[in-house]
Amino acid sequence: MILPKSQSDALVNKWEGRRFLNDRLDWNLLRTYLVIGQEGSISRAAARLHITQSAVSQALKRLEEQLECALILRRGPRFDLTAAGEEVLRIATDIYGGISRIGAAVEERNDGVAGKVRLLSISRVQSALYDEFLAEFHQAHPRVELEIEVLRSSDIISSLLQKTATAGLGLCRIAQPKLERRQLLRQRYAFFCGQRHPLFGRNDVSMEDLKGESFVSFVSDQLGGNLSPLAVFRDQQGFTGRIVASSSSFEEIHRLVCAGFGIGCLPEHVLSKDIEQGLLWRLPPAEGIVDVDVFLLWNREQKMTIAESVFLESFQHTLATVENL
């Protein structure tokens, strides 16, 4: 079938346009757009990238011109992504995840398991099983470099969805569609106060005594957050005290509770030494507040290097061995 010259020319122009886009698209513009989509704000994207809002807006405009379509719909100070914008954001996420893994890929050797494993973790993960696994893995694969970065659980999940890390250890109360999870340990949270608090050292404290006390709270201790069961417990028990300080860091929550800012809900299994040294005092209820699971997390759609695959498979095998006991 021979097309009319006008249709033939249109197809040629369309093909040449796609080839030009593939060859000349500025990947830095995609990176800027990725941050815009993640932050949901031009100003927050600018702050994260350490550039001006004008520069971010100009980058977005140039990308839309190169793609010849609108990526966002502005609604005053807010915006929504168009259908094309959603798809471009998904592709940009995959591209950025692949680029971030180039270093690990080129480091692999053919003469044994070698390479880099990037593990994201919340702070204060106390687990003899985890410690033993790390020791045995390093002994078996000494040429695998392990990089561990401490982050909030929400940031760990975000990074794994972007495919920028091998795996994570964190809280994941609501299952994520693309993430696999295996329980590493269960933490029992309970109320504590520091030496400077009026309730410190008292054995006659009741739940009624706590209901009006001020709180030091984790940022994720809110409805919808990974520690939202703590907020639900306070609401159900009729607690009326206000939150006087908050942080995403266990270390800072611990510091503020010890300083007497208020009572705090902390995982009790990591505080035995603090209690023995008289830094913290365990408060009612005796059975604690809630159990919170710490999971091994990874993206099932992520292509792993040999080193990453061996690390993840070994970790899962360790967890499965304990589960079957």
Q: Where are the domains of the chain?
A: 5-99, 115-184+294-323, 186-292
Structure tokens at 316: 């899962």
Using CA atoms, how far apart are residues 242 and 215, in angstroms rounded to an integer? 6
Q: Per residue of the chain (325 residues), give pLDDT as tens.
A: 444 445 444 444 544 445 455 666 777 888 888 888 887 888 878 877 778 888 888 988 988 888 888 988 877 667 888 898 889 888 888 877 776 666 555 554 444 789 999 999 999 999 999 999 999 999 999 999 999 999 999 999 999 999 999 999 999 988 888 999 999 999 999 999 999 999 999 999 999 999 999 999 988 877 667 788 888 888 888 989 999 999 988 999 999 999 999 999 999 999 999 999 999 999 999 999 999 999 999 999 899 999 999 999 999 999 987 754 4
Residues, the chain, total?
Answer: 325
Q: Write the CATH number of the domain with boundaries 186-292.
A: 3.40.190.290
Decide whether 115-184+294-323 matches 186-292 in CATH topology: yes
146 by Cβ neighbours in 10 Å (0-12 / 13-18 / 19+) ranks as middle
Is-contact 309 167, C-beta < 8 A? no
Q: Do the strands 215-218 and 144-150 form a parallel or antiparallel pair, or are they unpaired?
A: unpaired
pTM above 0.75, yes or no: no
Q: Which superfamily does CATH assign the domain made up of 115-184+294-323 to?
A: Periplasmic binding protein-like II (3.40.190.10)
Report the interhelical angle of 42-49 vs 53-67 (nearest 10°): 110
Instruction: Tell whether domain 5-99 is in CATH 3.30.70.260.
Output: no
